Amino acid sequence: MKKEIRALTGVRGVAALFVACYHFLEPFNPNWPPLFRDFFFHGYLSVDLFFILSGFVMSLSSRKLFDNGVTGPAYGTFMKRRFARIYPIYFVLSVVYFILKFKMKGWLFFGINLTLLQILDPRVYTIIGPSWSLSAEWVIYLLFPFLLLLIYRFRSRAWAIGCLLAGFGLLVFVATNNSEFLNGVQKVPRIEGDLNRYRSLSALLRCLAEYIIGITFYKAYAEYYPTYSKYYHYAALPTTLLILVCLFINNSDLLLTLLFAVLIFSCSTDTGIVARFLGWTPVYFLGEISYSLYLMHEIVISTDRYIFKHYYSGSYLRPVNISIYLLALLSLSWLTYKLIEVPARRSLRRRLETPAMPGF
C-alpha cells in the first residue's frame, strides 16, 4: 500500500474550499434561487467529510503503531504526533483572533480554547469559529487507538457491518434529536436529517460516529486490498455524480455521509479518472494547505465584511468580489502553511518523537 494517497489529500482540499465558500456566501443565501441555495447550504457537510477521511487516513497511517496493542509508548507517540500536526498554527491563529477580533477580552475563554477542550462546555465561546471541529477531534484522538483496535482486530464480516451500523445509527440519533442535553445552548431547527451540529455532546457524537465509519471503511480497504483493490476505483465516478446530485437536494445529509465514505474508499488506490483529478497538482496543492485554509477563512471573511460592510448586499456578490476573496484566502493560507504550519510541525516532531518508535 502507498504511504501517501494523493487523491485523498485532494479530497481534503476540495472540502476545505467548499466550506470556505459556504461561509463566505452564507449571508447572501436567502436571495439565491432555492436550487443553488440548497447546494451551498450543504457546505457544512465538508466537516463530515473531514471526520470520515481522518478516521480512514489515521487508520492507514497509525495501524502498525498499535500492532502490539495500545501500549503507553505507542499511545504517547500517537498523541505527540497529533499535537505536532494540529496545534502550532492553531495556537498562533488563536492568539491573532483573540487580539484582533476579541480585543483581548475573555481570558478564561481564551485559556480554555488553548486546551482544545472547549467543545465539552457549550457555554465556552469558540475563538476561531471553525475550530469547534478541531476540539471535537482532539477528544476523539484520545479514544482513537482504542477504537481502531476494537474495530480492526475482529476479523468477522458481521462485526464490521455491526460497526458500520453503529456509526450510522449514532448519526441518525444526532440528526433527529434536538434536545438541550445534546446541543447545549445551540438552537437547531428540527429538520430531519440535519447534521449541522457544532456544540456540546451532539458535535462529539457526530465526530465519533464518522470516525467509526472511516475506520470501518479502512478495515474493508485493508482486508480486501490484495484481491479486489484493482476494482475499487470503479465506484468513484458514479459516487461523485451522486454526491453532486444530492448536494442540490434538501435533507440529504445522511445519504451524503455514506457517499463520502464510498468516495474515500474508491479513491484509496489513487487510480481512475476521479483520483487523477483529485491528485492533479492544483487540487493536491489545495489539499496541502487545507488545514491552514480551514482555520484562516473566518478571519479573511471577517476582514472582507469589515472593509465592505456598506456593500454587503446581493449586488456585492459578483465574480470579482468572489475572486478577490479566494485569491486572498489561498495566498494567506499558503503563507501560513509555509511559514508556520510546516516548520513548526517538523520542529515539534523532532523534539517530541521517540526515534525508536515506528513512523507513519
Torsion angle defined by CA atoms of residues 313, 317, 323 and 327, in that order, rounded to the nearest 10 degrees: 30
| pLDDT for residue 182 | 80
Here the cell at position 278 is 483529485
Average pLDDT per run of 10 along the chain, which is 360 residues long? 83 96 79 75 94 96 88 92 94 92 88 94 88 96 94 86 95 84 67 75 95 96 89 95 93 94 96 96 96 94 80 67 90 96 90 52
pLDDT at 3: 67
C-beta separation of 275 from 263 below 8 A: no
Per-residue model confidence (pLDDT) at position 354: 53
d(CA 129, CA 26): 14
CA quadruple 183, 189, 190, 192: dihedral positive or negative? negative
The pLDDT, as a whole number, for residue 192 is: 44
User: Can you tell me the distance from the alpha carbon of 130 to that of 46, in angstroms, rounded to the nearest whole number?
Assistant: 11
pTM above 0.85, yes or no: yes
What pLDDT is stored for residue 131 in this prediction?
A: 94
